[in-house]
Structure 1
Amino acid sequence: MKILSLLFLTIFLGKGCDSAKAQEISNAVIEYEANTRGFYQKITVKNQMVTVSKDRSGNDKPVPTKIADADWKELVECFKTVELDSLARLKAPTEKRFYDGAAIANLKITYKDKAYETTSFDHGFPPKQIKKFVNKITSFAKKE
């Protein structure tokens, strides 16, 4: 009986640790920024709200828009797959930003008071590890 209860307890506690490790997007602030000389776009996602700014100087006051439940659910699933500690080491698949072929993009995630940031990559061509996540974020700007 002791072995059975020990086995059950081990499995139960093991499952509890896995769910606690899962990242919660509600504790995160996601900022995606893309710019060139003539283009600027900053998308901020926080608490199921998105703001899109196209003014580099910050004079405009972007209006927060609620993200639809279906889009939010998809974004949450994508966020769970992002390895925050490895963001800074991701390699950009293209280098169009070096000759003005694409805007320079960056992704910054502030999670539990710690900032995780990617190196620069081409707008529209994110590293494959975060491609689905970035494409979902940029899709919010297209809906405006």
Structure 2
Amino acid sequence: MKILSLLFLTLFMSKGCDGDAQRKIEAAQLIYSANSRGFHQEIIIENHYANIKNDRKGKPTQTKISDVDWKELIRLFKEVDLDKIKDLKSPTEKRFYDGAAIANLKINYEGKNYESQSFDHGFPPDGIKKIVTKINSFAKQNNEN
């Protein structure tokens, strides 16, 4: 009986953690921006939607994020150490000579703002590389439609 109770409690607790991660990202706003003289892109992720803006003056296009992509985004969000984002170093420096747009990731979560240092668009720091790549995939999908 003790084993059955322990098994039930373990299953119950593991399901509760998934719900917490779901709420965690739903309470967050992820903002990716990349700019250069001739390029502008801003992607804002909030509560199952990606708002994508490809020029400075236009209105953003809103796209619903599929459940599969949302679950992957939740998984990637859990991997990010929010307190260390500001200390991540860019692996390249192409933005210094107009070789790449200047990119930045901001995460607004629970009343706090977490912001990366600038990095080259397409070459994010390792600590946020997976989530930045996923965020950019929404813009690519939007451009294909």
TM range (shorter): 0.7 to 0.9
Shift of 1:63: 2.8
State the match for 1:40 in structure 2: 40
Distance 1:95 1:55 in 2: 24
SS of the equivalent of 1:101 reads coil
Shift of 1:55: 2.1
CA shift digits 1:94-134 (9 cap, x unpaired): 00000111110000000011110000000000001111110
Distance 1:116 1:109 in 2: 5
Q: What do you get for the CA RMSD once the two structures are aligned?
A: 2.2
CA contact (8 A) 2:31 2:42 kept: yes
Shift of 1:21: 8.0
Correspondence list, 1:1-144, <5 A:
19=17, 24-56=24-56, 59-144=57-142
Normalising by the residue count of structure 2, what TM-score does the alignment of the two structures yield?
0.82
The code of the aligned residue for 2:129 comes to K
CA shift digits 1:37-80 (9 cap, x unpaired): 00000000000100110122xx3222311001111110110000
SS of the equivalent of 2:124 reads coil
SS of the equivalent of 2:30 reads strand
Structure 2, unmatched stretches of 5+, are 1-5
Normalising by the residue count of structure 1, what TM-score does the alignment of the two structures yield?
0.83
Structure 1, unmatched stretches of 5+, are 1-7
The code of the aligned residue for 2:118 comes to S
The code of the aligned residue for 1:35 comes to N
Distance 2:64 2:137 in 1: 14
When structure 1 is superposed on structure 2, of 42-51 and 18-27 the one drifting more is: 18-27
Distance 1:138 1:99 in 2: 23
The verdict on how the C-alpha distance between 1:35 and 1:77 changes in structure 2, with shifts beyond 3 A counting, is: same
The verdict on how the C-alpha distance between 1:63 and 1:28 changes in structure 2, with shifts beyond 3 A counting, is: same
